[in-house]
Structure 1
Amino acid sequence: MPMVDLPPSSRPREKLLERGASALSDAELLALLLRTGLKGQPVLTWAADLLQQFGGLAGLLNAPDSALTQIRGLGPAKRAELLAVLELARRALQQPLQERAVMSNPDAVEQLLRLRLGALPHEVFAALFLDSQLRLIAFEELFRGSLSQTAVYPRELVQRALQLGAAALILAHNHPSGVAEPSAADHALTVQLRQALTLVDVRLLDHFVVTRTACISLAARGCL
């Protein structure tokens, strides 16, 4: 049903203004960004189809631009708005981590990791580089692909930590399978990277395995 044919209380914009953004579904929020649908496909239906295609809102917002350009009706202006929304979310989550010690806000760390890594269809190894007060200097994706002890290069990680003047790190990688349980290889890699970082007096605080819905701490599992 076209948006104009919906009762005012069911239209996303009116619903948001009356009841707040939290009252809207993911499809309704996305429909507000898209504004108009396709020929023969109302915007709410299109929004729901896109979410299904990309595995939810996080999957859509983390989709590479090459994938977004293949979507009929999603021109440069709408792609730019989606990318802007993702960047706003990233900055909102990173700001408190830049202002005070990350250990004082563990929920923000996990939210940031799930946003950045949880919905990716391929494995990514990333690091939060921290200063001597354990405040965030930078979040960077370092390696992509199937991760192993040979695919993640300790030398490059150490070199980047020194370049940024980091005093400590939090590492993270995602499991696209959705299974958050750390593997034996994850434990072995964590030990190897901790040893390499220790040689240059950089602390490894934690290593998280991330999925869409979970962040599992290897430190909590006794690996660090």
Structure 2
Amino acid sequence: MALKDIPIDARPREKLIARGPGALSDAELLALLLRTGLAGKSVLQLAQELLQRFAGLRGLLNARLEDLKQVKGLGGTAKRAELAAVLELARRALAEQLRAREVFESPGAVKDYLQLHLADKAHEVFAVLFLDSQHRLIAMEELFRGTLTQTSVYPREVVLHALRHQAAALVLAHNHPSGAVQPSRADEALTQTLKSALALVDVRVLDHVIVGPGQALSMAEKGLL
């Protein structure tokens, strides 16, 4: 069943125009992207099933192409491409916000940005936000990748990348695929090691953010810097 076959007062498009996008549920917003359902299944039912299967919008948008290909109704490349495009637009919008203003004017945006990049990765990733003298975003780089439980981080490489970007400060970040975001003693020790190494080239470490599915922890906010 397509959107045009749903009663007018229940159609997501008409509801959005009349009441704004905030009035729509996740399933209704997703249905607008999907546009058509399957034989015997409305597009809204398909959207709801997808959200349940992938544990929400972020899980769906970050799903691997192989996973999406296995879902009846998402076999075509067009719908998968549209889902990927939506996530990339969200990433770029947040990046623009961080480039335009001092990052700690909107700490929530920093966490949201990092969650979009790191939260749903199956392996551990260590990333760095490189900032200018006004603490605006210059670039983000994923510098190291590891297993589910450990990443090898080399301070020399972090320093070299900071110098290459002519960064005045930076925010460290890594994900915990297990879902827990409490820093380990190894996380705290690594943060201090990097702070010391970067201080030698006059680059400040402003924060270390640990990301998990649906949550993020700032070590600076917890007084661990």
- With normalisation by structure 2, the TM-score equals 0.89
1:17-47 deviations in Å (ceiling 9; x for gaps)? 1111111111111111011122333221221
Q: Which piece of structure 1 moves more, 152-161 or 16-25?
A: 152-161
1:120-159 correspondence runs (5 A): 120-146=121-147, 151-159=152-160
After superposition, the Cα gap between the structure-2 partners of 1:48 and 1:142, relative to the gap in structure 1 and judged at 3 Å, is: farther
Counterpart of 1:107 in structure 2 is 108
The separation in 2 between residues aligned to 1:104 and 1:34, in whole angstroms, is: 36
The question of 1:201 aligning with 2:205 is answered no
One-letter identity of the residue aligned with 1:206 = D
Counterpart of 1:44 in structure 2 is 44
One-letter identity of the residue aligned with 2:41 = Q
Deviation, 1:163, is: 1.7
CA contact (8 A) 1:61 1:82 kept: yes
CA contact (8 A) 1:3 1:11 kept: yes
Deviation, 1:70, is: 3.8
Counterpart of 1:59 in structure 2 is 59
The separation in 1 between residues aligned to 2:149 and 2:161, in whole angstroms, is: 19
The separation in 1 between residues aligned to 2:178 and 2:150, in whole angstroms, is: 19
- Aligned identity (percent) is 62
* Runs of 5+ unmatched residues, structure 2: none
SS at match of 1:30: helix
Deviation, 1:118, is: 2.4
After superposition, the Cα gap between the structure-2 partners of 1:65 and 1:18, relative to the gap in structure 1 and judged at 3 Å, is: same
After superposition, the Cα gap between the structure-2 partners of 1:112 and 1:187, relative to the gap in structure 1 and judged at 3 Å, is: same
After superposition, the Cα gap between the structure-2 partners of 1:57 and 1:221, relative to the gap in structure 1 and judged at 3 Å, is: same
Counterpart of 1:24 in structure 2 is 24
The separation in 1 between residues aligned to 2:54 and 2:145, in whole angstroms, is: 20
1:181-192 correspondence runs (5 A): 181-192=182-193
1:146-171 deviations in Å (ceiling 9; x for gaps)? 37776122222222222222111101
CA contact (8 A) 2:169 2:203 kept: yes
1:83-107 deviations in Å (ceiling 9; x for gaps)? 2111111111111211121122222
One-letter identity of the residue aligned with 1:112 = Y
1:63-85 deviations in Å (ceiling 9; x for gaps)? 23343344333222112211211
The separation in 1 between residues aligned to 2:151 and 2:59, in whole angstroms, is: 28
* Runs of 5+ unmatched residues, structure 1: none
Task: Give the CA RMSD over aligned residues.
Answer: 2.2
SS at match of 1:37: coil
SS at match of 2:108: helix
- With normalisation by structure 1, the TM-score equals 0.89
1:207-222 correspondence runs (5 A): 207-222=208-223
1:171-190 correspondence runs (5 A): 171-190=172-191
Counterpart of 2:86 in structure 1 is 85
SS at match of 1:128: strand
CA contact (8 A) 2:31 2:47 kept: yes
After superposition, the Cα gap between the structure-2 partners of 1:213 and 1:148, relative to the gap in structure 1 and judged at 3 Å, is: closer
The separation in 1 between residues aligned to 2:197 and 2:150, in whole angstroms, is: 13
One-letter identity of the residue aligned with 2:119 = G
Deviation, 1:204, is: 0.7
Deviation, 1:212, is: 3.1
Counterpart of 1:95 in structure 2 is 96
Deviation, 1:178, is: 2.4
One-letter identity of the residue aligned with 2:118 = L
One-letter identity of the residue aligned with 1:145 = G
Report how many aligned residue pairs link the two structures: 224
The separation in 1 between residues aligned to 2:71 and 2:148, in whole angstroms, is: 30
SS at match of 1:112: helix
